[in-house]
Amino acid sequence: MKRTVFTGGQVFDGTSTSLADVVVEGRRIVDVGVGLDGDDAVDCAGMSIVPGLFDCHVHVLIRDLDVARSEQEPYSLPYYEAVRNLSLLLDQGITSARDAAGADAGVRRAIEKGLIEGPRLQLALVMLSQTGGHSDLHLPSGGSRSMAMMMPNPGRPRAVRDGVDDVRRGVREILRAGADAIKVATTGGVMSVGDDPRHAHFRDDELEVIAAEAAAAGSYFFAHAQGAEGIKAALRHGARSIEHGYHLDDEAIDLMLSTGAWLVPTLSATQAIVDAGDRGVPIAPESLALAREALDAHRASFARAVDAGVKVAMGTDSPPYGHPSASNLDELQLMVRASSMTPADAWRATTASAAALLRQHDLGAIAPGALADLVVLDGRLADLGGLRERIRHVVIDGRRVR
């Protein structure tokens, strides 16, 4: 079997950095050290080599934040846009991602069969929500929004559930449809008009059954949670990760530490909404006001969580793919600017920590025996600027795909 050696790069192994060579044979890394040889050599002098990158919160069926436009387009169009969005993730070295609602099992299967290109993809399918919650498409007029990524279909069960029995059935239907994890909205959200991100959603008996059904299937649940009470409710019932976390208080941070839950901050998401509004994208005034109000609180909560030692995994909530300057990798710079995180901490959140969150134990590291997902980029890792343009090689399963 052919051995490919990536020579002379600064290797970040998921924990620390050193000058080394990396040898790939078949699907796996077989050696890391100095002076190694192989059948083919890739000169990485002046470059950095990192494990394949993770984004733990994407929505590959979404192009941008223009809901009014998307509601006027054919139902199937987002699936074709997902083909481009998945390719854009690979362009940025993101070799593993968790789609946090929208994509169904067919999207994942198309990647696995080689029909389309994309990262290793885990799925939530839908976001469970109570009536009047973040997934409820009801409008004051009596009609409903027609967002393709939220509408039930044969591969995407109904998201809005109320009461213990309905919630239990919902979890089982979602797992039956091929979900890797269960996503639950334990608060309202910014982009769903009519609910408030500070209000807690679902009661304890509903969350208890969600957690129990996910665990019985060997899965877990993670929570869209922005307000403090909804965050704490999710954590008390065993949420594996908190997504967003706008309003973390001391009790919430203590719960994250005691339960070992991850924070997926998605700093990009709040910033993207504000930026889109400034560019004239037709975002509901209520949503734009909530995003502007949340911006500083979001960053402050994240900084406090980092200082306390909460585990962090990188996730973006998909910055608008339709905007040419958007990059998921901007999240690394945002995390460092908003907190005491170092660039090395940000890389760890995007590799080893994210792999642990998603239970991908063969990924997130450069070490003998690990699956050969690698990214080679120009320059030093301490410089987080222009990462998208600095990508030179992307390897998945030992195959160079970029």
Residue 283 to residue 64: CA distance in whole angstroms: 11
Q: What is the pLDDT of residue 317?
A: 94
Q: What is the pLDDT of residue 325?
A: 66
Q: What is the pLDDT of residue 5?
A: 97
Answer yes or no: do 159 and 120 share one domain.
yes
Answer yes or no: do 74 and 161 share one domain.
yes
* CATH code for the domain of 389: 2.30.40.10
For 155, other C-beta atoms within 10 Å of its C-beta total: 14
Answer yes or no: do 189 and 117 share one domain.
yes
Answer yes or no: do 260 and 395 share one domain.
no
Q: What is the pLDDT of residue 226?
A: 95
Across-strand partners of 48? Answer: 10, 377
Q: What is the pLDDT of residue 202?
A: 97
Q: What is the pTM of this model?
A: 0.94
Q: What is the pLDDT of residue 217?
A: 98
Residue 293 to residue 226: CA distance in whole angstroms: 12
Write out the two tokens for 182.
């269960």
For 224, other C-beta atoms within 10 Å of its C-beta total: 31
Q: What is the pLDDT of residue 283?
A: 77
R_g (Cα) of the chain, nearest Å: 21
Is 155 in contact with 124 (CB distance < 8 Å)? no
Q: What is the pLDDT of residue 144?
A: 62
Which candidate in 195, 317, 330, 373 is catalytic? 317
Q: Phi/psi at 18 (nearest 5 deg)? A: -155, 160
Answer yes or no: do 41 and 143 share one domain.
no
Q: What is the pLDDT of residue 71?
A: 79
Residue 82 to residue 75: CA distance in whole angstroms: 13
Across-strand partners of 12? Answer: 17
* CATH code for the domain of 212: 3.20.20.140
Residues 6+ apart with CB under 8 A from 364: 14, 51, 52, 54, 351, 352, 353, 354, 355, 356
Residue 73 to residue 57: CA distance in whole angstroms: 24
Residue 102 to residue 152: CA distance in whole angstroms: 10
Which candidate in 136, 183, 232, 311 is catalytic? 183
What's the domain count of the chain? Answer: 2
Q: What is the pLDDT of residue 170?
A: 98
Residues 6+ apart with CB under 8 A from 13: 32, 51, 365, 366, 367
Answer yes or no: do 183 and 312 share one domain.
yes
Is residue 317 part of the annotated active site? The answer reads yes
Answer yes or no: do 229 and 190 share one domain.
yes
pLDDT tens digits, one per residue of 5-29: 999 999 999 999 999 999 999 999 9
pLDDT tens digits, one per residue of 78-121: 999 999 999 999 999 999 999 999 999 999 999 999 999 999 99
Answer yes or no: do 200 and 268 share one domain.
yes
Answer yes or no: do 218 and 180 share one domain.
yes
3-state secondary structure the chain: CCEEEEEEEEEECCCCEEEEEEEEECCEEEEEECCCCCCEEEECCCEEEEECEEEEEECCCCCCCCHHHHCCCCCCHHHHHHHHHHHHHHHCCEEEEEECCCCCHHHHHHHHCCCCCCCEEEECCCEEECCCCCCCCECCCCCECCCCCCCCECCECCCECCCHHHHHHHHHHHHHCCCCCEEEECECCCCCCCCCCCCECCCHHHHHHHHHHHHHCCCCEEEEECCHHHHHHHHHCCCCEEEECCCCCHHHHHHHHHHCCEEECCHHHHHHHHHHHHCCCCCCHHHHHHHHHHHHHHHHHHHHHHHHCCEECCCCCCCCCCCCCCCCCHHHHHHHHHCCCCHHHHHHHHCHHHHHHCCCCCCCCCCCCCECCEEEEECCCCCCCCHHHHEEEEEECCEECC
Is residue 330 part of the annotated active site? The answer reads no
- What range does the domain containing 264 cover? 53-357
Answer yes or no: do 313 and 387 share one domain.
no
Q: What is the pLDDT of residue 261?
A: 98
Write out the two tokens for 355.
């792999």
Answer yes or no: do 348 and 210 share one domain.
yes
The pLDDT profile of the chain, 402 residues, written as one tens digit per residue, is 899 999 999 999 999 999 999 999 999 999 999 999 989 999 999 999 999 999 999 999 988 777 778 778 898 999 999 999 999 999 999 999 999 999 999 999 999 999 999 999 999 999 999 998 888 877 677 656 666 667 889 999 999 999 999 999 999 999 999 999 999 999 998 777 778 888 999 999 999 999 999 999 999 999 999 999 999 999 999 999 999 999 999 999 999 999 999 999 999 988 888 887 788 887 778 878 777 888 899 999 999 999 999 999 999 998 766 666 679 999 999 999 999 999 999 999 999 999 999 999 999 999 999 999 999 999 999 999 999 999 999 999 999 999
pLDDT tens digits, one per residue of 313-345: 999 998 766 666 679 999 999 999 999 999 999
Q: What is the pLDDT of residue 323?
A: 63
Answer yes or no: do 26 and 112 share one domain.
no
First to last CA, the chain: 21
